[in-house]
Structure 1
């Protein structure tokens, strides 16, 4: 069995997408996943599967969310090694405040148009005096947001695009990224 990190987008956020974590663990175990663990209530899952393909694991979890919870949500899955690499590849290792660093995990790498839009958003934020930064490595967009997510000029500019055209991406702050790393063992 291979270990995966599954990130469910929009679960238990803002009063929508209600999925009790205990019930999710039960349903995932019933669907054949092993070693199922969750972290907080916002859709962070570590599990093992006989299927080595992260896209296939994501599709199975998406179907389970839709069929068992009536919550159609995208799911992004990284295999253990890919997740470890994503953490190690953090282009902002100098950032020690986890609320200032976010990773947007995506189903696929950004397209050329998405990269251009991200660069334009960074430039526009900088023109307004922001110190926000972004970098892309593979399927992960890293965001250094010194003013934190809620007051970030860059986050305000990219959030609508992220929700619409990110290949199923979902953001996590660095504290959550590190906690999932701990759960991987």
Structure 2
């Protein structure tokens, strides 16, 4: 199954530095396949055979703690969940109305955390 890991607060103003190439290698060495990192953003796309997001989150947390000595909050979302969020947008999503911000994805993700 394909997932996205969002790592919070890394590589910002020289704090919580994590090399994305090193992170990619660590994940690949620890059962994750087709790992793709996006710049230094802390966004990681990967595949794994585990279908339990809690287990994946704890595992990646442990990998980061052991390799980089950082305790980073991690949010895991599956490709299917992201597709569901994107396909159920309100009608105003993506309009040219500058008074409305396209933050619904983040609101829905936050709701999933509750």
TM range (shorter): 0.7 to 0.9
What residue number does 2:93 align with?
Answer: 93
- Retained in 2: the 8 A contact 1:38–1:45? yes
What residue number does 2:6 align with?
Answer: 7
> Would you tell me which structure has more helix in proportion to its own residues?
1
5+ residue gaps, structure 2, are none
Cα RMSD between the aligned structures?
A: 2.3
Give the Cα–Cα distance (whole angstroms) in 1 for the partners of residues 9 and 55 of structure 2: 20
TM-score norm. by structure 1 comes to 0.53
Mapping for residues 18-167 of structure 1, pairs under 5 Å? 18-91=17-90, 92-95=92-95, 100-102=101-103, 103-104=105-106, 136-137=107-108, 139-140=109-110
- Retained in 1: the 8 A contact 2:93–2:102? no
Which structure is higher in RCO with an 8 Å CA cutoff and minimum separation 6? 2
- Retained in 2: the 8 A contact 1:5–1:77? yes
Q: Which has the greater radius of gyration?
A: 1
The alpha-carbon deviation at position 42 of structure 1 amounts to 1.3
Q: How many residues align?
A: 109
5+ residue gaps, structure 1, are 105-135, 142-166, 169-185
